[in-house]
Amino acid sequence: MKYVRGAAAIGVLAFASFLLVGTAGANHLAPGTAVTLTCPTASAEYQSFAEADLPITFHVTVNGVTHDLVASADAVPDGTATVDISSLTSGFNGTAGTVSADVTWATHPTHEGAIGPVDLTCGEAPPTTTTPQVSPAVVVSPAAVVSPPAAAAPAVAVTNVSPQFTG
C-alpha cells in the first residue's frame, strides 16, 4: 500500500508538471483576432511565442493567386507580425480586388486566423485622358490664287535695216 500511494503521488506530480509545461508554451494568435488586412499590409497579433515559434508566415491570396510572405516579427513572447502586401494590391488600379489571408508559424503548420475573402480597393486609378473631338463639318481651305505668267511682248520683225559690219 505504501508503494501505491507513492506511485500515485508521482503520477499526480507528473500530470501537474505536464499541465504547467504544456500550457506555458502555448503559442497562439491573440484571442478573438484574425489577420488584419489593409491595402499595404497584412498583420496579426500573437501571444506566448518562443524563439523556436518564429518566423510567422502569412499566406495571402490576391485575386485567386496565393503568396507566402515571411513576417519580420522577432519579438517574443508577444507582438505583432506584419508583412507588406502593397506590391500585390497596387495593381488593382483603384478598383476592388479580392484578398484573403491566414498565418502559420514554425512550430504550428495549421493555418490560423483566416480572414476573407474581402474586397479591397487599392492603388491609383490610371489618369483619364480625353481624345479631342473633331467636328464632322468639312473644312475648306481658301483656293490658291495663281497669277498667269507675265506675257512676253510679241516679237516684232525688223525691216529696212542694212547690216553693218565692224571691223
Q: How far is CA 29 from CA 47, 70, 111, 112, 113, in A?
A: 6, 16, 11, 8, 7
CATH number at residue 76: 2.60.40
Examine residue 68 and state whether it is found in any structural domain, yes or no.
yes
- The total number of structural domains in the chain stands at 1
Examine residue 73 and state whether it is found in any structural domain, yes or no.
yes
Does residue 73 contact residue 152 with C-beta atoms inside 8 Å? no
pTM of the model: 0.59
Q: Is the pLDDT of residue 22 over 50?
A: no
Does residue 121 contact residue 40 with C-beta atoms inside 8 Å? no
For 83-114, what is each residue's pLDDT tens digit? 999 999 988 988 889 999 999 988 888 888 88
Q: Is the pLDDT of residue 8 over 60?
A: no
Give the torsion through C-alpha atoms of 15, 21, 22, 26, to 10 deg: 160
Does residue 58 contact residue 68 with C-beta atoms inside 8 Å? yes
Examine residue 143 and state whether it is found in any structural domain, yes or no.
no
Question: Predicted confidence band at 30 (pLDDT cuts at 50, 70, 90)?
Answer: confident
DSSP state of 163: -
Dist CA 163 CA 28 (whole Å): 131
Q: What percent of the chain has pLDDT over 70?
A: 61
Q: Is the pLDDT of residue 137 over 80?
A: no
Range scoring the smallest mean pLDDT among 53-62, 74-83, 146-155: 146-155
Cell of 89: 494590391
Dist CA 25 CA 81 (whole Å): 18
Q: What percent of the chain has pLDDT over 90?
A: 20
Examine residue 148 and state whether it is found in any structural domain, yes or no.
no
Examine residue 60 and state whether it is found in any structural domain, yes or no.
yes
For 33-65, what is each residue's pLDDT tens digit? 778 999 999 998 888 888 888 888 999 999 999
Examine residue 3 and state whether it is found in any structural domain, yes or no.
no
Examine residue 59 and state whether it is found in any structural domain, yes or no.
yes
Dist CA 99 CA 61 (whole Å): 6
Examine residue 86 and state whether it is found in any structural domain, yes or no.
yes
What is the extent of the structural domain holding 46? 27-121
Mean pLDDT across the chain, nearest whole number? 74
Q: Is the pLDDT of residue 32 over 80?
A: no
